[in-house]
Structure formats: structure tokens, C-alpha cells
Amino acid sequence: MARKPLVSHIYTADPSAHVFEGRMYIYPSHDLSLEVEENDLGDQYQMADYHILSQETPEGPTTDHGEALHLRQVPWASRQLWAPDAAFNHGRYYLYFPARDKQGIFRIGVASGLRPEGPFTAEPEPIKGSFSIDPCVFRDDDGTFYMYFGGLWGGQLQCWPTGQFIADATTPPADQPALCPKVAPLRDDMIEFARPPADAVITDDKGQPLLAGDNTRRYFEGPWMHKHAGTYYLSYSTGDTHLLVYATSKSPLGPFTYRGQILSPVVGWTTHHSIVEFKGRWFLYYHDSTLSGGVSHRRCVKVQELFYEADGSIRPMGP
């Protein structure tokens, strides 16, 4: 595959890809061409709307369906529409997205519509009990939907050690268990959690939780769940070491055993992805900053084919 940006007329990032109505739909965030100072809290990522993309095939041309939802249409949100995801149930399409509320705390909202490309109408309040960023919504074979979410540093996952928001909370010491992504089943109405979020624990091959100082393996942000040959694959970004890695389980709730790397570092700071099957082949959607010459908050979505080995491991790739 050419590995060129899917679109070049706008900056896009954080692609969540799904097959809807026999077509590939990609739900990215929409980077703006701003001149801003970068920091570890992500203040440079000032996205304000979502454009939905689609393709007839992953190798084919990409259609930009235009603005599907804008910040001004989300009553509870104040800024920063970050990485979204989507799901389909009961004849409606659901767009899940993080944003800061009026107090500056990241919450996860939901909007719905009748078409996969939108437009979407946001619920007046965020999901009760939601926090942090990077929602991924996975439908299991029995029809249950699960949401995985959470991101460190600017994503505020570390700010919830007690279940209440603590603005100046820090990540655990290097010799303590790392923070985990959160997972919660969704109610049948798709707009609330069926149970409070719990840890999706990631362990080493001896069953011990990964440590906070193990930053080439521990979780940072960008969870994605897919299922292959009866196994649940939780893939994610390691953040400051810029890797995409994965862990596996026989349950969607975990615990998940770390298995290895998927993608080596891209041009730019962040790495965020999705993995999807299309007509018997598997594809990795991800982003880098090549379109902007390396500016970390002006990114572009790309796609390349993904392969499994006979033992179920994912073949490591370079971008």
C-alpha cells in the first residue's frame, strides 16, 4: 500500500475505523492549523469538530463527508474534541467523544444519528461516571457493547485515584503497578454505562501487572479492542516511547497478557490507531505528522495491511 495520507486538504488524527453498510468509515479527530506552543498536557490539540471519512476499500480513494458535529452543538462541553469512536445499534449510529466540560474536566459524550457519516445530535450531558479520554466501543459476539477509555497526563486518567477528580494527582512511582485503561459495558440504550468502569488490567507473561516505569509496555492512551480467532486483542499506545503494542485475553474484561509491538514510532509525538477486518483482510489505521513536516498537532491518517502469525501474534510493522 502507498501509505499516503487518506486526505490532505485537512489534518486528521486518531482514526477509529469500522465497516458499516459494506463500506469503511473512519472517525478521526480534526487537527487545526494553529501556531501554538506544545506541552505535555496537550494544550496544542484544540480540535473543535469532527469530519467523517469513508472508503469503498482501504486501498481506494477517501471521501470527506464534511462536518458531522461541532463543539458549539455539545451543550456540556467547553473545548478540545479529542479522539472519537462510533458504533451501530437499534438502527442508529452513535458517536462517542471526549471533551472538557465547563470546569475543564475531560468527560465522554455521545451523539447519535441515522447515517454513519452523520450529522450527529449530542446528548445534553456526558455519560454519567465517565472521565478521561479516548473512548473505544467494541461489540462482542453476544451483542454486548463495551467501552474502553483513558489517557495519562493531559488525558487526566491519573486524576481519578479515589473516584473523585484530583487536579494535581500524579502517575504512580516507577516500581508500582501502572495505571490501566478502564472498561465498562454499555446499557442497551447506548448512552450510559451498565456498570461502573473497572480496570482492564495488563500483565506480563507471569501474570504480574506491568509497572509504571515499564514505559515500553505499560498503557498510556488510545485503547482499541478487536477479536480474532476467539481471542480479545487490546492494543494501545505507550505514549512517551511512541509505540503501538498489544495484549490478549479470553475475556473482554481481561486480564490481558502483554504480547508485543505492532508499530514502531511514527513521525510526530503521538500514535493512535484502530484495527479492522475488511473482506477477510485486516488493516491498521494510524496517524503520523508527515503531512505537516513533523508538527505534532497537525497529523494525517494512514492505513496499511496487518498480518497475524500462526500462533495468533501480530506481525510487527514499521510506519
- Per-residue pLDDT, 33: 87
* 174-199 pLDDT, tens digit each: 999 999 999 999 999 999 999 999 99
Q: Tens of pLDDT along 296-307?
A: 999 999 999 999
CA-to-CA separations, 209 to 55, 132, 174, 183, 217, in angstroms, rounded? 39, 21, 12, 16, 11
Q: What is the mean pLDDT of residues 243-247?
A: 98
| Identity at 117, one-letter amino acid code | E
Residue 53: all three cell numbers together: 471519512
pLDDT digits 0-9 by tens, 277-295: 999 999 999 999 999 999 9
Are residues 304 and 10 in contact, defined by beta-carbon separation less than 8 angstroms?
Answer: no
Q: 181 with 188: CB under 8 angstroms?
A: no
From 85, 117, 214, 221, active-site residue: 221
- The confidence score (pLDDT) of residue 286 equals 98
Q: Dump the DSSP string for 132-189.
A: SS--EEEE-TTS-EEEEE--SGGG-GGG-TTSS--TT--PPPTTSBPP--EEEEBPTT
What's the pLDDT score for residue 38? 83
Hey, what's the cell of 229?
480467532
Query: What is the reported pLDDT for 27?
Result: 98
Helix ranges (H only) for the chain are: none
Would the pLDDT of 216 be above 60?
yes
Tell me the average pLDDT across 42-70.
96
Asked if 35 is an active-site residue, the reply is: no
Residue 209's CB is within 10 A of a number of other CB atoms, namely 17
Is residue 1 over pLDDT 60?
Answer: no
Task: State the Cα angle at 85 between 155 and 286, rounded to 5°.
Answer: 80
Catalytic (active site) residue 38:
no
**CATH number of 11-306, picked from 2.115.10.20, 3.50.50.60, 3.40.50.300, 2.60.40.10:** 2.115.10.20
Q: What is the residue-wise DSSP string for 238-282?
A: -GGG--EEEEEESSTT--EEEEEEEEPPPSSS---EEEEEETTEE
Displacement of CA 257 from its chain's centroid (Å): 20
For residue 304, what are the β-bridge partners?
284
Looking at residue 35, its pLDDT comes to 81
The predicted pLDDT at position 2 comes to 54
| Strand bridging mode 202-203 / 256-263 | parallel
Helix (H, G, I), strand (E, B) or coil at 59: coil
Find where cell 454505562 sits.
193
| Catalytic-role residue among 14, 31, 214, 288 | 14
